[in-house]
């Protein structure tokens, strides 16, 4: 369970680092705090090119957050299919998609009122 003393910024930083460690692409952060009736404060969205990479990204995020912040996701689903893995860290929810699945669901458009930050990849 997420401790209250872990800031969303610290959590997001470790999530992004975990994504970058295995070359996840198109990292986007949606700030949902100004939108009424949301179940979380932030979405972190990224994609991989295959189910193998999606699962590698998910594992990398979980390892990084566990090692650096001693935190574990409250809930994880979708790892068995590797098309869309959702990791719920309570105030931050991570969505790791295969590219075509991300395009289909288009969460950035669905949550168009959110403040969107795109993380530029170094590769």
The per-residue pLDDT for 2 is 46
In 3D space, the residue among 100, 123, 27, 21 whose CA is nearest the CA of residue 64 turns out to be 21
The predicted pLDDT at position 1 comes to 44
pLDDT, tens digit (0-9, with 9 covering 90-100), for 68-98: 999 999 999 999 999 999 999 999 999 999 9
Count other Cβ atoms within 10 Å, centred on residue 66.
14
For the whole model, what pTM was predicted?
0.93
pLDDT < 70: residue spans in the chain: 1-5, 122-123
Enumerate domains of the chain plus CATH numbers: 8-117 (3.30.460.10)
Residue 64: per-residue pLDDT: 98
């Amino acid at each position: 369970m997420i401790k209250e003393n872990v800031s969303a910024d610290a959590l997001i930083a470790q999530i992004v680092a975990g994504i970058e460690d295995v070359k996840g692409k198109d990292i986007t952060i949606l700030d949902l705090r100004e939108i009424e009736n949301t179940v979380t404060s932030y979405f972190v969205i990224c994609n991989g090119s295959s189910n193998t990479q999606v699962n590698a990204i998910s594992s990398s995020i979980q390892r990084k957050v566990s090692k650096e912040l001693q935190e574990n996701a409250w809930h994880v689903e979708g790892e068995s299919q590797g098309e869309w893995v959702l990791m719920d860290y309570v105030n931050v929810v991570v969505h790791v998609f295969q590219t075509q699945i991300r395009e289909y669901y288009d969460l950035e458009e669905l949550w168009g009122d959110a403040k969107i930050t795109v993380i530029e990849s170094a590769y």
